[in-house]
A and B are shown apart, each in its own frame.
Chain A
Amino acid sequence: SQTIHQWPATLVQPVGSPLSLECTVEGTSNPNLYWYRQAAGRGLQLLFYSVGIGQISSEVPQNLSASRPQDRQFILSSKKLLLSDSGFYLCAWRGKGHAGHEQYFGPGTRLTVT
């Protein structure tokens, strides 16, 4: 069965510090991978998605970036965090080769920028 991992689970970082969040998927090959952010009391916002190694599509201009160095690894980064970057960061995967569009989420990283 497929599993998705994210770490760290929680993070408190000062404004201006760098960020690196990691997501890995097990039990599937060549998945589509997604980064979402959910700010307090708000809906899910898609930040980036990737259909393959090195292929990143950005949805929202911001000070965040994403990379996919391996098939089942997706990394979210920032060089300098802003207060507005606080939120719940969720990684998700979707398998290719079947008709459904459903995505499956990791446990998330709760980021507080102080």
Chain B
Amino acid sequence: RKEVEQDPGPFNVPEGATVAFNCTYSNSASQSFFWYRQDCRKEPKLLMSVYSSGNEDGRFTAQLNRASQYISLLIRDSKLSDSATYLCVVNSVGGGSNYKLTFGKGTLLTVNP
């Protein structure tokens, strides 16, 4: 099982749609979870951290299910500006890896007018 695995995508949705991204991680000892957003030919930027209780930031909702080792990101009322690649990120665990993050390959979202 890959350390962090995401929906391969791509997703093409109309403006106003709700879109969900799914991610699974392999190490049950992982403690920190994030969603990053990467625009074309730009650096990844932190979108939001993911907490056990779930968290919401405007149109974005992140959920964590530790038992299933599953993370999700829901975007409601999608905008053209939401078009980007969404990266699922988990902290590495074990040995000297406490300083490292493991990135999923990302899921490309295109929101169409």
Contact = CB atoms under 8 A, between A and B. Distances in A.
A46 B101 CA distance: 9
Contacts of B34: 101-102
A43 B42 contact: no
B33 to A, nearest CB: 9
Contact of A103 (B42, B101, B105): B101
Given A43-B105, A102-B32, A108-B43, A94 B49 contact: no
A51 to B, nearest CB: 6
Contact of B100 (A42, A49, A88, A102): A49
Contacts of B41: 88, 110
A101 B99 CA distance: 7
Given A42-B105, A43-B105, A110-B41, A104 B46 contact: yes
Interface residues of B, number: 20
B45 A105 contact: yes
A57 interface: yes
A32 interface: yes
A107 B42 contact: yes
B91 interface: yes
24 contacts: A42-B105, A43-B106, A44-B103, A46-B101, A49-B100, A57-B96, A90-B44, A94-B99, A100-B32, A101-B32, A101-B34, A101-B91, A101-B99, A102-B32, A102-B34, A104-B46, A105-B44, A105-B45, A106-B43, A107-B42, A107-B43, A108-B42, A108-B43, A110-B41
